[in-house]
Amino acid sequence: MALMLGLTWLVGCAGLLFVFGHLPLSAAPEGVRRGGGPALVWLGLAIMIAVALATVVMAFESLRWTTLVVLGGFVFLFAPFFVQDLPAAIRDTQRGLVLVVTLGVVALGAICAVAGAS
């Protein structure tokens, strides 16, 4: 349970950092400002907020507070490294936003599956 919550917390934190890098939209890379890019930014933001909130709720219900603090701090410490090391072909394009939205949906599915099983 702690490993799954740690991974979903990592997806939520790294995903939020990734999406925040595209805000404000006027400062986003050109590939993100065109077409469906703005909609992907807002969709990614909504999904990552949902992932973060669902993970926090599940963690408070199922983990000891000491585990929660250590795991949460560890993820906060290392999440930026996952985002900054992404190549520009992912970081500055709509393809990266689609990847973030997909990871968020998978993380939400994992949280729902665990919540339904318990």
Give residue-wise pLDDT tens across range 40-87: 999 999 999 999 999 999 999 999 999 989 988 999 899 889 888 899
Q: What is the pTM of this model?
A: 0.90
User: What integer pLDDT is reported at residue 82 of this predicted model?
Assistant: 87
User: What integer pLDDT is reported at residue 54 of this predicted model?
Assistant: 95
Angle CA 32–33–37, to nearest 5: 55
Taking the C-alpha atoms of residue 2 and residue 58, their distance in angstroms, rounded to an integer, is 10
Tokens of 48: 């990552």
User: Looking at residues 92-111, what average pLDDT do you find?
Assistant: 95
Domain count, the chain: 1
Q: How does 73-111 read in b/e, with b if 16+ C-beta sit within 10 Å?
A: eebeeebeebbeeeeeeebbbbebbebbbebbeebbebb
Look up the domain containing 38 and give its range.
2-117
